[in-house]
């Protein structure tokens, strides 16, 4: 048994003892939480714009709740449509490079976690709807990382699909961190949003560690020409994984405001300010952890990856 297989065996033991689906009763919000701000102050800058503030605290509450629903909806979708599907592929299909049986079993354990996370996110949305009395504006119909995967697979020859799925899965699993959800050390754990995600992120910390190790192993095992082919499509995938959600979220926030009946001129002002808050790819807050994962797994050492990311605007210099 090599080091990675030993790690996988230990992972499965820890999963049995500590995964939220096996070992915990999940947090459920109650009416008593209804007075607590759902998202951290400053998390949705649009609600602090003077025009929105002038509409009163109820409008702020409504917009923040919609933003929270959207995050949960995104989680419910990404878990099943992207992560579960790629985990299933990793567990059951033959791959270009050897994937140990124990690692395939870990992929099934993670598949189980993610199906549960999707369930918990959807349940949480329903419970919040009941507690707040605010209906979600709508449901997300697509999942950016899944669209990105499909866009890349359309460009790659079929024999590389499994390899790219492993890369895409490993990077997607390194998307969310405490900072990204506004959960920093000094955060008082009182908001239902954070209490819900705190549990989710306990599992994700284990997933991230596994996928960094897996990616390091398979990337090193790929032939150089395979690495080159995969490197070329990485920027396209990152555009969907990291850039598209930022723009789609801004659009959704403006649609929520639009429903409140603001006049066209004010809406246009708010749209321009949302646009001004969009950051360059290299400064995208969700890129930090994905970039670290790529570094840990050895991808950033590859000149072909570096040049593809530079050309795609993800690396500057
Ligand atoms: Fe998850
Ligand atoms: Fe995960």
Q: Ligand 1 centroid to 176 CA: how many Å?
A: 9
pLDDT above 90 coverage of the chain, percent? 86
Domains and CATH numbers, the chain: 3-311 (1.10.620.20)
Interval between CA 258 and ligand 2 midpoint (Å): 34
Q: Ligand 1 center to residue 200 CA distance, Å?
A: 6
pLDDT higher than threshold 90 for residue 71:
yes
Predicted TM-score (pTM) of this structure: 0.95
Averaged pLDDT of the chain = 94
Residue 113 CA, ligand 1 centroid: distance in Å: 6
**pLDDT tens digit sequence for 144-191:** 999 999 999 999 999 999 999 999 999 999 998 878 777 766 667 678
Distance 117 CA to ligand 1 centre (A): 5
Q: Report the pLDDT value the prediction gives residue 301, as an integer from 0 to 100.
A: 97
292-310 pLDDT, tens digit each:
999 999 999 999 999 999 9
CA of 138 to the centre of ligand 2 (A): 25
Q: What spacing in Å lies between the alpha carbon of 21 and ligand 1's midpoint?
A: 11
What's the mean pLDDT in 263-292?
Answer: 94
Q: What is the mean pLDDT of residues 63-87?
A: 96
Centre of ligand 2 to C-alpha 21, Å, is 13
Q: What pLDDT was estimated at residue 182?
A: 75
Between the CA of 133 and the centroid of ligand 2 the distance, in Å, is: 30
pLDDT digits (tens, 9 = 90+) for 237-263: 999 999 999 999 999 999 999 988 888
Checking 119-127 for CB contacts under 8 A at 24+ apart, the result is 120/26, 120/196, 120/199, 120/200, 121/72, 121/73, 121/75, 121/76, 121/79, 121/196, 121/200, 122/72, 122/76, 123/28, 124/29, 124/72, 124/192, 124/196, 125/69, 125/72, 125/73, 125/76, 127/28, 127/29
If you measure from the C-alpha of residue 288 to the centroid of ligand 1, how many angstroms do you get, rounded to a whole number? 19
């Amino acid at each position: 048994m090599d080091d990675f297989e030993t790690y996988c065996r230990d992972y499965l033991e820890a999963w049995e003892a500590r995964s939220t689906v096996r070992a915990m009763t999940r947090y459920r919000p109650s009416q008593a939480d209804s007075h607590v701000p759902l998202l951290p102050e400053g998390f949705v800058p649009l609600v602090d714009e003077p025009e929105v503030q002038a509409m009163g605290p109820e409008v702020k509450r409504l917009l923040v709740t919609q933003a929270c629903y959207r995050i949960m909806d995104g989680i419910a979708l990404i878990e099943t449509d992207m992560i579960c599907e790629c985990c299933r592929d990793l567990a059951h299909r033959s791959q270009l490079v050897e994937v140990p049986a124990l690692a395939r079993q870990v992929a099934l354990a993670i598949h189980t976690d993610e199906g549960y996370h999707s369930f918990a996110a959807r349940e949480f949305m329903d419970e919040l709807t009941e507690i707040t009395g605010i209906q979600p504006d709508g449901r997300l119909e697509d999942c950016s990382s899944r669209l990105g995967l499909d866009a890349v697979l359309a460009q790659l020859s079929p024999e590389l699909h499994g390899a790219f799925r492993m890369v895409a899965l490993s990077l997607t699993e390194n998307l969310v961190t405490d900072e990204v959800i506004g959960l920093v050390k000094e955060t008082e754990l009182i908001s239902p949003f954070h209490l819900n995600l705190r549990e989710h992120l306990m599992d994700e910390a284990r997933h991230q560690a596994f996928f960094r190790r897996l990616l390091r192993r398979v990337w090193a095992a790929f032939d150089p020409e395979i690495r080159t082919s995969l490197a070329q499509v990485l920027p396209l995938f990152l555009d969907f994984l990291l850039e598209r959600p930022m723009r789609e979220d801004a659009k959704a926030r403006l649609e929520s405001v639009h429903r409140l009946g603001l006049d066209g001129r004010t809406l246009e002002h708010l749209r321009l300010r949302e646009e001004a808050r969009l950051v360059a790819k290299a400064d995208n807050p969700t890129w930090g952890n994905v970039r670290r994962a790529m570094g840990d797994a050895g991808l950033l050492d590859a000149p072909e990856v570096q040049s593809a990311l530079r050309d795609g605007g993800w690396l500057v210099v």
